[in-house]
């Protein structure tokens, strides 16, 4: 039997390795138009920056390695031009010689990956305008940076690659501006979490521009300024176009392979396409959500490796199947880690869930043991109590909390289950009640114990509309004076019982403190004294101030 794989990065090489482990007799070939295979695409920005010095660190394996270790024939610089599935043949071009030839297969695995989105911008063909997609493109950017010593750079797009490039160009001493057409950076995050990323970028000297678009790139022979839709012009010795990626499916589409609603190749749990003996995996293929069961597209190296392994197993008679995913992702920008999994609040609402959210602001370990603050936004379904997703941001301990939440969500955990997790504790590692456990406690209180939450955005909207809300700041007077929600009355928790007769139990009441704990304690007192509807501000004043940045002593709503 002969297996041919189109594409030799994460998914393709994983498929080849698994197929060989299953069967020593099968003939396996990989064709890839690129000169590099099995490279670490996620490490490319750090090669352009100062963290990775040698190219070989990103490309530790070559064609000779795969032949010697796996007896797999790897043909780099070979582009597959057509798939004739009825004849089970491919038309292949040797890019070095220009010659075409035909290659037969018994099983075909398509792992063509993704390609960079290329906005149709005037000037994007200039020599100092780049997309980062493979090692060769990283070589070009690195060479440009080291040889021309640019002083300014504009990064178009603020996803993983865009922000990682902003960090690494800054590390090279370049003044960076990031331009994002959406409402906020990292559009995959909810706005109330993306603000942490934007603020931190600004602190590191990166200019953040949102709700604006690049219209053209000007200058000759090289670009020296970027013109925005707003009319603003940005100086630019270097431009990185990081507007996202799309699945590379044209070859498959021409062959009659069915595409799914996301535009990627439609596959079943066995990585099979609609054509017999043709599989697809990696960034060219759809995944599906463990939450909704619906197809989604999440081009991630971890998912690509998993899909590739399953495709190689199935092509050699195995029984591995794909269980779906949560779209889990994490990246680092300077010293800040940003992670997400499952549904965001906006996605949950779009899918028809009645989303209940909480913001937990806690140190990753005790402050006396160098703990650093992290923020968890967790989303649960009111009807079932199931945890739907989470976003975690901080300088330490983010990956640990994210992976705990991923595991819990994967196995259908409800909010109440998070508190009962028997998590590891010692001061060098965690707090006695871990931030994940706090998320479970707060969500459960809201879902089952009538201790409802209100988000900063929801409270701000009510105040802006002039709705009747009595807002109680339960902190001490000094904290209140430093900053507070507009119209809030300062009633520290220890004095609230003395002031009950001055409050209206029939009016919607919102309590808050710095982060949520004292606000919840005040909420309990009021509810136990017969107040009809008392909501605690999720994440407290710290979250509110982060989102709306009040001025004049914190009173943002004069």
Cβ 366 vs Cβ 427: under 8 Å: yes
| C-alpha closest to that of 439 among 361, 513, 381 | 361
Cβ 96 vs Cβ 77: under 8 Å: yes
Active-site residue among 42, 281, 284, 513?
42
Token pair, residue 115, equals 């390609």
Q: 416-419 long-range CB contacts below 8 Å, 24 or more apart? A: 416/385, 416/440, 416/444, 416/447, 416/448, 417/387, 418/378, 418/387, 418/443, 419/444
Q: Which residues contact 138 (CB under 8 A, 6 or more apart)?
A: 44, 45, 47, 48, 58, 132
pLDDT of residue 557: 38
pLDDT of residue 556: 46
pLDDT of residue 23: 97
Q: Which residues contact 370 (CB under 8 A, 6 or more apart)?
A: none
Token pair, residue 255, equals 């062959």
Handedness of CA 509, 513, 516, 521 (dihedral sign): negative
Cα–Cα distance for residue pair 37/59, rounded to 1 Å: 7
- The 10 Å Cβ neighbour count of residue 375 is 22
Cα–Cα distance for residue pair 405/385, rounded to 1 Å: 15
Cα–Cα distance for residue pair 204/484, rounded to 1 Å: 27
| Phi/psi at 411 (5° precision) | -100, 20
pLDDT of residue 551: 58
The yes-or-no answer on residue 42 being catalytic is yes
| Phi/psi at 43 (5° precision) | -90, -5
H/E stretch holding 122: none
Cβ burial of 428 (10 Å; 0-12, 13-18, 19+) is exposed
| C-alpha closest to that of 335 among 212, 451, 196, 507 | 196
Bridge partners of 454? 537
**In the chain, how long is the greatest CA-to-CA distance?**
89
Question: Do the bridges between strand 214-218 and strand 225-228 make them parallel or antiparallel, or are there none, so unpaired?
Answer: antiparallel
- With a cut of 50, which residues of the chain have pLDDT below it? 552-553, 556-558
Q: Determine the distance from the C-alpha atom of residue 410 to the mean position of all C-alpha atoms in its chain, rounded to a whole number.
A: 17
27-57 pLDDT tens trace: 999 999 998 888 878 889 999 998 988 888 8
Cα–Cα distance for residue pair 319/170, rounded to 1 Å: 47
Q: Which residues contact 372 (CB under 8 A, 6 or more apart)?
A: 363, 364, 394, 395, 396, 397
The angle formed by the CA atoms of residues 151, 153 and 156, to the nearest 5 degrees, is 175
Handedness of CA 291, 296, 298, 301 (dihedral sign): positive
H/E stretch holding 234: strand 233-235
451-497 pLDDT tens trace: 999 999 999 999 999 999 999 999 999 999 999 999 999 999 999 99
Cβ 523 vs Cβ 535: under 8 Å: yes
pLDDT of residue 58: 86
DSSP one-letter string for 475-532: S-HHHHHH---TT-EE--GGGGGGGGGGS-TTS-EEEE-SSSHHHHHHHHHHHHTT-S
At what angle are helices 191-203 and 456-465 packed, to 10 degrees? 100
User: Considering the entire predicted model, what is its pTM?
Assistant: 0.92
């Amino acid at each position: 039997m002969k297996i041919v794989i189109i594409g030799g990065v994460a998914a393709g090489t994983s498929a080849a390795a698994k197929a060989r482990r299953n069967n020593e007799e099968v003939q396996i070939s990989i064709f890839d138009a690129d000169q590099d295979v099995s490279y670490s695409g996620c490490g490319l920005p750090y090669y352009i920056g100062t963290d990775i010095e040698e190219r070989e660190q990103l490309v530790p394996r070559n064609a000779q390695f795969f032949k010697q270790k796996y007896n797999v024939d790897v043909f780099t610089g070979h582009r597959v031009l057509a798939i004739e599935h009825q004849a089970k043949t491919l038309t292949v071009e040797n890019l070095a010689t220009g010659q075409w030839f035909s290659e037969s297969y018994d099983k075909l695995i398509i792992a063509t990956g993704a390609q960079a989105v290329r906005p149709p911008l005037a000037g994007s063909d200039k020599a100092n305008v780049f997309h980062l997609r493979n090692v060769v493109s990283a070589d070009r950017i690195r060479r440009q940076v080291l040889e021309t010593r640019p002083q300014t750079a504009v990064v178009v797009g603020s996803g993983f690659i865009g922000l990682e490039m902003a960090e690494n160009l800054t590390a090279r001493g370049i003044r960076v501006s990031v331009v994002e057409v959406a409402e906020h950076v990292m559009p995959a995050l909810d706005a109330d979490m993306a603000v942490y990323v934007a603020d931190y970028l600004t602190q590191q000297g990166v200019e953040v521009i949102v709700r604006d678009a690049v219209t053209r790139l000007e200058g000759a022979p090289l670009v020296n300024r970027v013109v925005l839709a707003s009319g603003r012009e940005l100086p630019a010795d270097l431009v990185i176009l990081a507007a996202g990626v799309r699945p590379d499916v044209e070859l498959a589409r021409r062959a009659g392979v069915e595409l799914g609603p996301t535009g990627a190749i439609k596959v079943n749990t066995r990585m099979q396409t609609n054509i017999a003996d043709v599989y697809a995996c990696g960034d060219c293929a759809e995944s599906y959500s463990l939450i909704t069961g619906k197809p989604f597209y999440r081009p991630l190296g971890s998912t690509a490796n998993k899909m590739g392994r399953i495709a190689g197993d199935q092509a050699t008679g195995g029984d591995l199947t794909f269980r779906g995913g949560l779209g889990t992702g994490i990246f680092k920008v300077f010293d800040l880690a940003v992670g997400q999994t499952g549904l965001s609040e906006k996605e949950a609402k779009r899918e028809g869930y009645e989303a209940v959210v909480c913001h937990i602001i806690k140190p990753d370990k005790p402050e006396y043991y160098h703990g650093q603050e992290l923020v968890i936004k967790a989303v649960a379904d009111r009807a079932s109590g199931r945890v739907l997703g989470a976003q975690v941001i901080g300088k330490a301990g983010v990956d640990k909390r994210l992976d705990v939440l991923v595991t819990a969500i994967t196995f259908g955990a409800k909010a109440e289950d998070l508190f009962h997790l028997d998590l590891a504790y010692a001061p060098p590692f965690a707090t006695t009640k871990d931030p994940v456990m706090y998320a479970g406690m707060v969500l459960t209180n809201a879902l089952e114990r009538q201790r409802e939450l209100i988000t900063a955005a929801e409270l701000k909207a009510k105040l802006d509309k002039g709705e009747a809300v009595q807002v109680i700041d339960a902190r001490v007077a000094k904290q209140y004076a430093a900053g507070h929600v507009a119209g809030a009355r300062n009633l520290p928790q220890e004095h609230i019982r003395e002031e009950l007769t001055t409050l209206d139990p029939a009016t919607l009441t919102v309590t808050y403190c710095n982060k949520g704990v004292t606000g919840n304690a005040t909420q309990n007192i009021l509810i136990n004294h017969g107040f009809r509807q008392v909501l605690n501000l999720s994440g407290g004043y710290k979250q509110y101030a982060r989102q709306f940045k009040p001025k004049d002593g914190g009173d943002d709503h004069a």
